[in-house]
Structure 1
Amino acid sequence: MTQFFTTTDGLKLAYDDRGSGHPVLCLPGLSRNMADFEPVVDQFADKARIIRLDLRGRGQSDHDPDYHNYNTIREGQDVLELLDHLGLANVTILGTSRGGLIAMGLAMGHPDRLQGVIFNDIGPVVEPAGLAHIFGYLGVVPEYRDHEDAAHKMAHAMAPDFANVPHETYLRHARALYAETESGVALRYDPLLRQSIMEQAADGALPDIWPLFDALKGFPTALIRGANSNILSAETAAEMCRRQPDMFFAEVPDRGHVPFLDEPEAVAVIDAYLEQIS
């Protein structure tokens, strides 16, 4: 059941909290929402406390009247405020893409609030080709009639980076991304997110994120990479494993950016991490 809390700057953010045991906070990708983590709830809610957050401007959370607040620093503050709201001293973060960047920022600024991090197809180097692909669709409403139409067309558009994906998975993905309306689908995030990201990109090259990742030294970590990812290269993943030699790692075949987290390889990595930390 979706619940809400209010941030210090007055936005109402949506979250879901179920299961018991070690707390795992699931943070979604840039334009995504908590629905992406339904497979994690299905697989692990009997083993851990699975908390899912819709970041500001996404899913069921309020849109920010100032789109400049769509940045990882403010979103990291929202995470801290959610932890305070729930009375949690610290958590493991399962971060997909943007969610993993937020986790690294917290590792540097608020390491006491983390127990560890599971990265889903993200690291300290974000490949330019992947960013260009994201800029191509971010904030643009696609011409899909409904969820079924979206599922069929996404299966074609996402090939060949994604293969052997059941139709039911694409349908779940479409429902997570879009709302159905009488005139077609609608985005489930604030389209002004595009403006914020484009302005941030125009400020210059991305900063060096490796120091943020290195702040996780000594923390339990895990990494899931889509074998065909255009965001997280194999070379960056290898360097992450070198710097964190105890990190659980799996590469998911037939997946690009990002794995759906229902794949056997992804499930096995999350399970191994929880076995270690619980």
Structure 2
Amino acid sequence: MPDFRTSDGVSLHFFDEGAGPPVLCLAGLTRNADDFAHVLPHLGEHRVIRLDARGRGRSERPADFTTYNVLREGHDAMELIDHLGLDRVAIIGTSRGGLVAMTLAASHRERLSAVVLNDIGPIVGVAGLARIMGYVGREPDLPDLAAGARALAEAEARSFPDVPPDRWAAEAAARWEETPEGLRNRYDPALHTALMQQSAAGALPDLWMFFEALREVPTGAIRGANSDILSAETLEEMQRRHPGLVSATVPDRGHVPFLDEPASLGVISRVIGGSA
């Protein structure tokens, strides 16, 4: 479980496991490397590198909250790739991690062997964005992880039906940590400040040009059928603009699929190879 220090002095934690073609896993906005625990057993023919982005999970929280942005996080990812001495990697990018992957396609396409986007595209659903803005930075009012697992199961019952309790227990442990005062988020609350500042700066840039940089890269897209972030219409347009796109919609999943569903594994296997 090593760490490395970025060019702006932030210590980032990552996991580096297995052998074979390298796959870099980049998690969502408030999430961390533990999000890929479910897919990890299915990537046995790969060297799997899972990064805790700055301010998330086990990584250091920078003094400057403005560095919580996609471009800086993409720079961090490239510095990790260089730190490990890798020429090229495949990326599995969940939500925000997928946005980072798209920016890397525009700036460092030659370093990418393949990309899988997990429930993210160039258009981010308005309802989903509002939902995210509503919870980022808020600590859960929950006493322990058992209560957290029950809360997740209740809150996600419509978008994620029939998910067993042990999966929600794992999800709770990935999102929160237990303290004497109750559960606490495993990310820097300053992420909220960064998001609010970026939102006040104006509309998001046109992300289609970043997605279209993937046209020469083997690319997959996974969508949760109940997602409020990646719509069916956006996925259809992604397919039109990237005719080689390998895509699947995962039934009974919202934002985001766990990545060990058969449909998710099918996309991963076809795009990055191996026995996923």
Compute the TM-score of the two structures, normalised by the length of structure 1. 0.97
User: In 2, distance between residues paired with 1:60 and 1:105?
Assistant: 24
**Residue 212 in structure 1 maps to residue 210 in structure 2:** yes
Q: CA deviation at 1:111?
A: 1.1
Q: What letter is aligned with 1:8?
A: S
User: In 1, distance between residues paired with 2:216 and 2:74?
Assistant: 21
Q: Does the aligned pair in 2 maintain the 1:55–1:75 contact within 8 Å?
A: yes
What is residue 7 of structure 2 aligned with on the other side? 8
User: In 1, distance between residues paired with 2:246 and 2:274?
Assistant: 10
What is residue 243 of structure 2 aligned with on the other side? 245
What is residue 191 of structure 1 aligned with on the other side? 189
Q: Does the aligned pair in 2 maintain the 1:214–1:243 contact within 8 Å?
A: yes
Q: What are the within-5 Å matches in structure 2 for residues 36-51 of structure 1?
A: 36-44=35-43, 46-51=44-49
Q: Does the aligned pair in 1 maintain the 2:45–2:275 contact within 8 Å?
A: no
State percent identity of aligned pairs.
51
Q: Does the aligned pair in 2 maintain the 1:127–1:232 contact within 8 Å?
A: yes
Q: Does the aligned pair in 1 maintain the 2:90–2:272 contact within 8 Å?
A: no
Q: Report the 3-state secondary structure (helix = DSSP H, G, I; strand = E; otherwise coil) of the residue aligned with 1:245.
A: coil
User: In 2, distance between residues paired with 1:164 and 1:198?
Assistant: 35
Q: Which residue of 131, 134, 147 maps to 2:132?
A: 134
Q: Report the 3-state secondary structure (helix = DSSP H, G, I; strand = E; otherwise coil) of the residue aligned with 1:273.
A: helix
The ranges of structure 1 where at least 4 consecutive aligned residues each deviate by more than 2 angstroms after the TM superposition are: 274-278
User: In 2, distance between residues paired with 1:220 and 1:11?
Assistant: 32
Q: Report the 3-state secondary structure (helix = DSSP H, G, I; strand = E; otherwise coil) of the residue aligned with 2:199.
A: helix
Q: CA deviation at 1:19?
A: 1.2
User: In 2, distance between residues paired with 1:69 and 1:258?
Assistant: 25
Residue 241 and residue 277 in structure 1: after superposition, are their counterparts in 2 closer, same or farther (change >3 A)? farther
Q: Does the aligned pair in 2 maintain the 1:54–1:61 contact within 8 Å?
A: yes
Q: What are the within-5 Å matches in structure 2 for residues 1-278 of structure 1?
A: 2-44=1-43, 46-275=44-273
1:34-66 residue CA offsets vs partner (Å, 9 max, x unmatched): 00001121111x211111000000000000101
User: In 1, distance between residues paired with 2:266 and 2:215?
Assistant: 22
**Greater CA deviation, 192-201 or 245-254?**
245-254
**Greater CA deviation, 49-58 or 243-252?**
243-252
User: In 2, distance between residues paired with 1:58 and 1:117?
Assistant: 22
User: In 2, distance between residues paired with 1:273 and 1:112?
Assistant: 16
Compute the TM-score of the two structures, normalised by the length of structure 2. 0.97
Q: Report the 3-state secondary structure (helix = DSSP H, G, I; strand = E; otherwise coil) of the residue aligned with 1:258.
A: coil
Name stretches of at least 5 consecutive residues in structure 2 with no aligned partner. Answer: none
Q: CA deviation at 1:144?
A: 1.3
1:202-248 residue CA offsets vs partner (Å, 9 max, x unmatched): 11111110011101112100111000100001000011112222221
RMSD: 1.4
**Greater CA deviation, 94-103 or 140-149?**
140-149
Q: CA deviation at 1:277?
A: 11
Q: What letter is aligned with 1:245?
A: P
